[in-house]
Amino acid sequence: EDAEKMKNLFCGHWGFIDSPENTKCLIDWRDAPDSTRPTLANIKAGMRWLVEGAMPGDSLLFFYCGHGSQQRNVDRREKDGFDEVLVPVDGKTEGMLVDDEINEMLVQPLPAGVRLTCFLDSCHSGGGLDLPYQWNPYMEEGASWHLDEGGVYADADVICVSAAAEDQTAKGIPRLGNRENFPSGAFSASWCVACEVHETQCK
């Protein structure tokens, strides 16, 4: 349900338009039709839909809340030897969505002047888009940017806000979901709280 709740937040408070032409939401509900479930094919189709026809001045948003994992990297671009992956509902039979593919589908098609903001509320999501620079707030010498030599540069302005570093897991807190319009993922819930505080303090 977190995807639906976050969609309501972004559309209700941050200017995104909740219409079939502007918003797509895939949710793993038991009674959800196949076309709206987060299968590998549907996630890929949604990514292509999001970036298709993007023009300078456009602001795009991609939000994912679900399972994330790692698998062995075969092209030796990852310094830790692992690719980060998103886990679709049919991942056991259809495979995972690898960070290389995500970058190729979601980042590389975008022209300069487009802003893409991604939220990944999943384990190992720090390298989920294979971007060249990462902000680490937990460095011993203090928060700083560092270069990932295996990352891929983009023409567009792309930011990925992740729930965990590449070697970390993300947490869910089911009881948080009992609050109306509140997600159960710890990262998503924290983001909602930050937005509420921002709105309150900046009025």
Catalytic machinery residues: 67, 123
Question: In this structure, what token pair is assigned to residue 13?
Answer: 């408070």
Query: What residues form DSSP beta bridges with 139?
Result: none
β-strands 68-72, 82-86 pairing = antiparallel
Question: In this structure, what token pair is assigned to residue 83?
Answer: 């690719």
Question: In this structure, what token pair is assigned to residue 147?
Answer: 């270069």
